[in-house]
Amino acid sequence: MRRNTALVMILMCGSTLPAMAGVYTDDLSRCLVESSTKEDRTALVQWIFAAISQNPSISALGKATDADIEKANAAVGSLFMRLLTETCVDKAKKAIKYEGAVAIQGAFEVLGKVASSDLFSDPKVQAVMAGLIKHVDSKKLEALKDGEP
């Protein structure tokens, strides 16, 4: 039983999925999104940030402490368990039965995208991202559209 639980957790946190999701994954995705609060989605984004901040290539930009990581793991672990075993349990069972454990990963990827869109909609985040335009050559980009080399 523990081996299956570990597999499901790996699939939820794993890399990319094929672009095709089944109807049961879609149902589970909708349930996860509709059943999560803004606070839940914030906790998910914080967990993702804590994880990626450990990568040496970006650790200078922000590093989560061991306490931050444990807090984020606990919060998202509770979120996963609540959504999968309480709130969306019927949809989770059907998704796994008909589409396999990869359905869990796909559904949580959708939730992650929704959580990220919440994050990116913040005016301060948008202002930083808009600063990119100062470093982009619009003439060269326009040439791409025209098919020029």
pTM flag (> 0.75): yes
Nearest-angstrom CA–CA distance, 101 and 111: 16
Q: Is the separation of the CB atoms in 43 and 76 below 8 Å?
A: yes
Q: In this predicted structure, what is the pLDDT of residue 138?
A: 87
> How deeply is 71 buried, as exposed, middle or buried, from its count of CB atoms within 10 A (0-12, 13-18, 19+)?
middle
* Rounded Cα gap, residues 71 and 46, in angstroms: 10
* Model confidence pLDDT, tens digit, residues 122-144: 999 999 999 988 998 888 888 88
Question: In 132-147, which positions are buried (b, 16+ CB within 10 angstroms) versus exposed (e)?
Answer: eeeeeeeeeeeeeeee
Low-confidence ranges of the chain (pLDDT < 50): 1-17, 19
